[in-house]
Structure 1
């Protein structure tokens, strides 16, 4: 497995719609999935989309786990989601702080649906349908946006809802030390 180079904000692939995947069994696609998983783990991400590694495929990995960037993230095994769709969503939205491997050094307060029903094909070719909530729903929506050429900065409602990664880490560590 290889750690892949992350496309940075300004790279045109991050603003393009990704293309549907037709052959799940393609050796290169399966290798891309393995490399995306290795990359998201190595970079302390909780999700990564194929366009972030300059591949215009409708594929992303959701890999929630506590780490330096997201100390309170729930733990789950990395899941490859191929040709994902949002089938339905709750009315209520929740604002939460997001960062992005393609937008280093910045966090933004982003409104996301609290509950979503999704459909995707897993790497074994099985169609999956499930309800995602809270943090994992947020990861899915963030990564899904990458497939549509949208970055989280596009969803921030005000520049007042932005802060540097360093300041975010100070505030999170401060909240954790106070037991918040």
Structure 2
């Protein structure tokens, strides 16, 4: 499909809640491809549909060589285990990072691109990515949860 523009911090769409997806159709398959193409054209590891202006509960995560890419429809965190500080950034807020408290481990459920029920048990970076992207679906940015925000200093 296409590489889409990633909405930036301050855009009101990023603060809105997304709608549940009720079925797989051509529009949803196109959205999945757009999320994949847009993420792969960036430096990020995850992207939520609202970040490209679509208020639907769909996320795409690709930790590159660490796991297979994950497209998840109507994702929901069903269990959180532990807590730890995490350094996070966001494609919608380039040039900044923040310290956010996230679960060490999560169990996430949702639908696959074949409309099958799926469940993931994730820890580390994948757990953080699930939490970050699912927050986007609820109009929550990492900046809303950050204990501290700072501008990334460019290498000289």
- Range class of TM-score, shorter chain: over 0.9
Distance in 1 (alpha carbons) for counterparts of 2:84 and 2:78: 19
Distance in 1 (alpha carbons) for counterparts of 2:76 and 2:32: 18
Give 1 or 2: higher helix fraction. Answer: 1
Which residue of structure 1 aligns with residue 150 of structure 2? Answer: 163
Q: Does 1:150 align with 2:137?
A: no
Matches within 5 A, 1:1-180: 1-24=1-24, 26-65=25-64, 75-90=66-81, 92-157=82-147, 161-166=148-153
Structure 2: state its 5+ residue gaps.
Answer: none
Distance in 2 (alpha carbons) for counterparts of 1:75 and 1:154: 28
**Higher-Rg member (1/2):** 1
Distance in 2 (alpha carbons) for counterparts of 1:12 and 1:77: 32
Structure 1 residue runs of 4 or more that deviate by more than 6 Å after TM superposition: none
Q: What is the count of residue pairs matched by the alignment? A: 155
- CA deviation map 1:83-110 (0-9, x unaligned): 00111111x2111111101111110011
Q: CA deviation at 1:45?
A: 0.9
Query: TM-score normalised to the size of structure 2?
Result: 0.95
Distance in 2 (alpha carbons) for counterparts of 1:7 and 1:130: 28
Distance in 2 (alpha carbons) for counterparts of 1:115 and 1:20: 24
